[in-house]
Amino acid sequence: MSVPTTFSFSIDLPIRSDWANVDLMRTSVQNCFTAIFSDIDGCQALAMVTGELLENAIKYGDWSGDDGGAFRLRVWGEGSRAGEGRRSAHVSVENPVKPDDPHVADALATLSWIAGFASAKEAYRAKLLEIAASRDEMSPSRLGLVRIAYEGNCNLHAEVTDGVLKVTADTVF
């Protein structure tokens, strides 16, 4: 029996909105991918993206409903055992949100702002300069999604459907 050189992978889990689960899932994703791929930096970046999106879901989610405080994590993609070629991965986090939550509008506006740059690196640099020039130390930096796009080398997009915010990061590593 020969081992296929290309394969697909998928993780699809309901996660309780508990802060301890962020680190557990970040570490689990990193360990799973490190066991498969030799690109340690790429695996760490994928784990960072997963952890940051989970943190945003817990921080900005609406946990007042009857769903028990759960949300959804999906990680999927394609890879190659031969070490040749590129691997693609996608991380998606879905969480309940209140209909008029300003954080949802902020997230969508930030993603649109990032898309206006030629690269995530340029967006990251612009955001850092904006933060450095700001005189209001109490105002939120809104750096999180920009950091995910840049350090995770990914494209981010989001959609809101029936009170659920779904943020997806697509990357090639």
Per-residue pLDDT tens for 32-60?
A: 988 888 788 989 999 999 999 999 999 99
- 138 φ/ψ angles, rounded to the nearest 5 degrees: -90, -15
Assigned domain for 78 exists: yes
| CA 145 – CA 156 distance, rounded (Å) | 8
Largest CA distance in the chain: 64
Measured CA to CA, the distance from residue 94 to residue 138 in angstroms comes to 29
Q: Is 74 within the bounds of a domain?
A: yes
Q: Which tens digits make up the pLDDT trace of 54-74? A: 999 999 999 987 766 789 999
> In this structure, is residue 148 part of a structural domain?
yes
Look up the CATH number of the domain holding residue 155: 3.30.565.10
Q: Does residue 112 belong to any structural domain of this protein?
A: yes
Please tell me the distance from the alpha carbon of residue 164 to that of residue 161, in angstroms, as a whole number: 5
> pLDDT tens digit string along 107-121?
999 999 999 999 999
Confidence class of residue 173 from pLDDT cuts 50, 70 and 90?
confident
Kindly state the DSSP code that residue 65 receives in the 8-state scheme.
S
Q: Decide if 40 is inside a domain.
A: yes
Global pTM value: 0.89
The mean pLDDT value of the chain amounts to 90
Q: How many distinct structural domains can be found in the chain?
A: 1
Domain annotation covers residue 1? no
Domain, as residue range, for 96: 6-172
